[in-house]
Amino acid sequence: MKNKLHVGLLLTSLFSLTSSFSVFAESGDFITCQSKLNQVNEMYGFFNSDKFKYLTKKDLEKFLAPNMDMITNNKIMASGYTDLMKHFELIGSEMKEFKILPAQYVTEAGNDVVIKYDIDTVNKSGAKVSFSEIAILSFNNDCKITRWDEIVYTKQGHSTLENIRVSD
């Protein structure tokens, strides 16, 4: 009886998994991007390089989709290349130093990657400001980020975040 119960549970679980899989496969939600983590690592390497100080639209096109939304703590910080350029310019105008520490991979599912990372900065007045972030990065088939949804925490207060939000 016990073995029949285990076999029954196993078959039920297997059926459930295959049903979910086929529904998921039919929905067209699978993406062909196989190098999401490589793309994330390359992007953060770029952000930490001297090239980031001279950011161009072409640089953004390597990593981000044209209509990408950057959302921080449930607020849209920037949307699309023009806003993103302004956002990163605002970061440059607020920060004297900016260093993204190595990201910790959390998980990957479908077209999303979840990572945790810290950013150490020194603002223009010389104060050190550190951020801890957890981000869900959503990718398209071209391995470009279409949505960057992050939760950011800083001991120094969130007024710093408002200073880098793009608004009309």
Q: Identify whether residues 14 and 88 lie together within a single domain.
A: no
Give pLDDT tens digits for 92-150.
888 888 888 877 877 888 899 999 999 898 988 898 989 999 999 999 989 999 999 99
What pLDDT was estimated at residue 96?
85
CATH number reported for the structural domain that contains residue 59 in this entry = 3.10.450.50
What pLDDT was estimated at residue 168?
54
What pLDDT was estimated at residue 132?
92
Q: Identify whether residues 73 and 24 lie together within a single domain.
A: no
Q: Identify whether residues 76 and 108 lie together within a single domain.
A: yes
Provide the pLDDT confidence category of residue 160 given band limits of 50, 70 and 90. Answer: low
Give pLDDT tens digits for 20-72.
322 233 334 445 566 787 888 888 888 888 887 788 899 999 999 999 999 99
* Residue 167 within a domain: no
Q: Identify whether residues 148 and 71 lie together within a single domain.
A: yes
Q: Identify whether residues 80 and 133 lie together within a single domain.
A: yes
Instruction: Tell me the pairing of strands 64-72 and 145-153.
Output: parallel
Joined tokens for residue 7: 């076999």
- Where in the sequence is the domain holding 115, given as residue range(s)? 31-162
Q: Identify whether residues 19 and 67 lie together within a single domain.
A: no
Q: Identify whether residues 123 and 56 lie together within a single domain.
A: yes
What pLDDT was estimated at residue 92?
80
The amino acid that residue 75 corresponds to is K
- Nearest Cα residue to 168 out of 47, 42, 80, 106: 80
Q: CA 87 to CA 137: how far, in whole Å?
A: 18
Whose tokens are 């994330």? That residue is 40
Q: Which residues contact 139 (CB under 8 A, 6 or more apart)?
A: 31, 33, 36, 39, 111, 112, 113, 145, 146
